[in-house]
Amino acid sequence: MGNFFTRKKKIIGGLLALLITATGIFAFDENNKYFLIAKNLDLFAAFYHELDTYYVDDLPPEKTIRKGMEAILDDTDPYTDFIAEDNLDELKYMATGKYGGVGASITTNGDWTCITDVYPGSPMDKANVKPGDILETMDGRSLKNIPQDSISRMLKGTPGTPLDIAFRNPVTNAVATKRIVRQEINVKAVSYSGFVKNDIGYIKMTQFTENSGNMVRKAFEQLKQQNPSMKGVILDLRGNPGGLLDEAVIVANTFVDKNKQIVSTRGKVKNWDRSYETSGAPADDHIPLAVLTNHSSASASEIVAGSIQDLDRGIIVGQRSYGKGLVQTTRPLPYNAKLKVTTAKYYTPSGRCIQAIDYSHRNEDGSVDFVADSLRKSFKTAGGRVVKDGGGIEPDAKVDPTYLSQVAVSLLRKQYIFDYATQYYYSHPKIATAANFSLTDQEFNEFEHFLDNKDYSYKTRSEDALESFKTTARKEKYYDAVSKDLEVLEQKLKHDKKQDLLKNKEEIKRLLEEEIVNRYYMQEGRIAKSLTADNEVNKAISLLLNQPSYKKILSASTAN
């Protein structure tokens, strides 16, 4: 945060100067909101001055006043925030998808941090750094027991600046020092595009940053060029947290005709209210379209999904989206700081706001609630289908989410799947193409042996529920009466880790295959492999290829 709020006299003097001006303007109107603001700021300045002068211990002004600002922000929504000068890079990344760094993801396990992913064309890629490589030193400083977030900050920096990093090979333990020169890393908004079964195109979009709308359009046009007889397209917005509203309009314009309203915004400052319409010709406004959403699809993702649904341009497949119907803008503050503030709500073409949590009405304890189903209003799509506000975007074709087994979660957390993939990579120079690669039964048996003498203990959900019941029974003094029955039940629930491995073999095998493929074909390969067993993708494919079912979903007779 640097020089922000570093001198007490400057803080207090500045506040008092502001307050003298404000009270001079508004002091004659007791009912005026601005007078009340000035009055209470005056009280705050006097309060802080007296506290700082006479309190027995020193109060750091930067820390103390920041706490006051954070307390104010607690009464707003989570998206309204103060951004200090030294955090502006994060704001820039959210808008542009760009940052200065080395182009790799890291994770910490035990004493050391290692590389998990390398971005194509990045400084790490150019230096032939591989997933699994362990970071030993950076510019001569040992990285043992250094927190992951600290190492992440050290790796980021101004493009063109060098780092001397010593990497330890995870298999041979050989150490090599490499000079890594930071560059501007541009995280692609379209992380993958290609074809899935039976001439269905697929586009995976991870964020709405600058130029992401054109990236989606370009990806779609390339798919059409590769296969002019393409029968449908899937736009995957799962896990996409959103971003720039303008880019959402451009993405929609890829599939929606010119001069169609995509979203409108309304807030306290009425002359900021706007309606956003498509401005150009679409790439294709007739091809069957499926948009994938889940609970992590938010903001701009919901603008695209909501407009496609309201205009009956395509179908939504998956789970209900997050429900963020709020718009933020940034306002300049002194000392190069920023205020990111919610200034409006946005509305899809049917007129609904999909905001799921009501931050304007808090409970006595300060908590907030989801909009009750009984309060959700109904709206109609262009074709007369009924849709509702106040709860995200409901899918037209619901697919239940897939949850990992407890044994799979444990193997991932302990990084045994990651470690086995690293070992596999160094013993297999080549593998099949990403989508076609699969582990043999013998190789899965080798993974089982790899786990010998490794601790990946865990509790099943049933065991957790039983523990909770036993605790409650003891509190209510029923335990003695049922203890023998509970012991029998406990024995029946005890799990055998080997049996759990075999019972969940296909799931664990799939996770292994995706991690291994990532070693050879990076992120694009991992995505290509994951699509082969993706329930939402397979559901979308079946609907896009079955035109009667597709059209039935879009007809008013299927209204909710």
Give the tens place of pLDDT for each residue, 331-353. Answer: 999 999 999 999 999 999 999 99
Q: What's the pLDDT at 499? A: 83
Cβ atoms of 301 and 319 within 8 Å: the answer is: no
Q: Which residues are catalytic?
A: 299, 310, 324
Q: What's the pLDDT at 143? A: 97
For 209-263, how does the pLDDT look when each residue is reduced to its tens digit (9 = 90+)?
999 999 999 999 999 999 999 999 999 999 999 999 999 999 999 999 999 999 9
SS3 317: strand
Q: What is the Cα–Cα distance from 271 to 265, expressed in whole angstroms? A: 11
CATH 3.30.413.10 for domain 98-186: no
Cβ atoms of 210 and 244 within 8 Å: the answer is: yes
Q: What's the pLDDT at 491? A: 73
Percent of all residues in the chain with a pLDDT value above 70, rounded to a whole number: 92
Q: What's the pLDDT at 32? A: 80
The pTM of this model reads 0.86
What are the phi and psi torsion angles at 69 (to 5°)? -65, -40
Mean of pLDDT values over 484-498: 71
Domain boundaries of the chain, sorted by first residue: 98-186, 190-398, 406-460+495-542
Q: What's the pLDDT at 24? A: 46
Q: What is the Cα–Cα distance from 284 to 225, expressed in whole angstroms? A: 12
Strands 81-83 and 175-181: unpaired
Q: Does the pLDDT value for residue 65 go beyond 70?
A: yes
Q: Residue 175's beta-bridge partner residues?
A: 168
List, as one string, the DSSP characters of 192-230: EEEEETTTEEEEEE--B-TTHHHHHHHHHHHHHHH-TT-
Q: What's the pLDDT at 556? A: 72
Cβ atoms of 355 and 323 within 8 Å: the answer is: yes
Q: Band of the pLDDT at 493, cuts 50, 70, 90?
A: low
Percent of all residues in the chain with a pLDDT value above 90, rounded to a whole number: 74
Mean of pLDDT values over 185-208: 94
Q: What average pLDDT does the structure give for the chain?
A: 90
Mean of pLDDT values over 423-428: 96
Residue with tokens 């990946």: 456
Quote the distance between the C-alpha of residue 101 and its chain's center.
20
Residue with tokens 């010709």: 281
Q: What is the Cα–Cα distance from 455 to 446, expressed in whole angstroms? A: 17
Q: What's the pLDDT at 1? A: 39
Q: What is the Cα–Cα distance from 192 to 348, expressed in whole angstroms? A: 27
Q: What is the Cα–Cα distance from 124 to 149, expressed in whole angstroms? A: 18
> 253-281 burial, b if ≥16 CB within 10 A, otherwise e?
bbbbeeebbbbbbbbeeeeeeeebbbeee
Structure tokens at 44: 């705050």
Q: What is the Cα–Cα distance from 247 to 262, expressed in whole angstroms? A: 11
Quote the distance between the C-alpha of residue 476 and its chain's center.
42
Q: What is the Cα–Cα distance from 461 to 413, expressed in whole angstroms? A: 17
DSSP state of 556: G
Structure tokens at 430: 């080549």
Q: 94 vs 55, which has greater pLDDT?
A: 55
Residue 438 half-sphere exposure, CB side, CA atoms within 13 Å? 8
Q: What's the pLDDT at 495? A: 62
Cβ atoms of 155 and 170 within 8 Å: the answer is: no
For 2-34, how does the pLDDT look when each residue is reduced to its tens digit (9 = 90+)?
433 333 444 444 444 444 444 444 444 556 888
Q: What is the Cα–Cα distance from 488 to 142, expressed in whole angstroms? A: 52
Q: What is the Cα–Cα distance from 290 to 287, expressed in whole angstroms? A: 10
Distances (CA, A) of 481 to 409, 466, 476: 35, 16, 11
Q: Does the pLDDT value for residue 204 go beyond 50?
A: yes
Mean of pLDDT values over 550-560: 77
Minimum mean pLDDT among 83-92, 193-202, 283-292: which range? Answer: 83-92
Mean of pLDDT values over 509-519: 97
- The superfamily in CATH containing domain 190-398 is 2-enoyl-CoA Hydratase; Chain A, domain 1 (3.90.226.10)
For the chain, give percent helix, strand, coil, nearest 5.
Answer: 45, 20, 35
